[in-house]
Structure 1
Amino acid sequence: MPKRVLQGTVVSDKGDKTIVVKVERRFTHPLLKKTVRRTKNYHAHDEGNAFKVGDVVRIEESKPISKTKSWVALASDAEA
């Protein structure tokens, strides 16, 4: 099964080697036919502490790294 890759914005870089990424998804409501936005925060592993708050970053699913981290930061869109 392929690993999921999501794109979002870094909202926190306070932890050592950890960033919090806000991922937004949009979908059409089945009854109201209106576009709805939902956001979710993911804790991702950032080995070199390279990402700062406000960076747009891609994260990839991985095996659990800690209690809350199961994602790894890949590269920001500016670098890719």
Structure 2
Amino acid sequence: MKTFANLLSSLIVAGWLGAISLLSIQNIKPVSLRFLYFESIELPVGLVLAFSVGLGIIGGAIVPPLLQLFEQPRN
């Protein structure tokens, strides 16, 4: 079962990488992100998407152990 989980996660990451590469080839016009009064520098869409996916993967790997750490045992 662990082999299947590794295969599935590898396929998901490979799919994301393929989508990012297609978007970055097709959309080379730079974009900037705005949040409240802050605005980022202009970056290509593919690069923004790659950073977003990377941060999401890292956050998804970090949050479950933190939740288990702070989870209180049930009596």
Q: Scaled by the length of structure 2, what TM-score is found?
A: 0.24
Greater helix content: 2
Greater Rg by CA = 2
User: Per residue, is there more strand in 1 or in 2?
Assistant: 1
Quick one: higher RCO (CA 8 Å, sep 6+), 1 or 2?
1
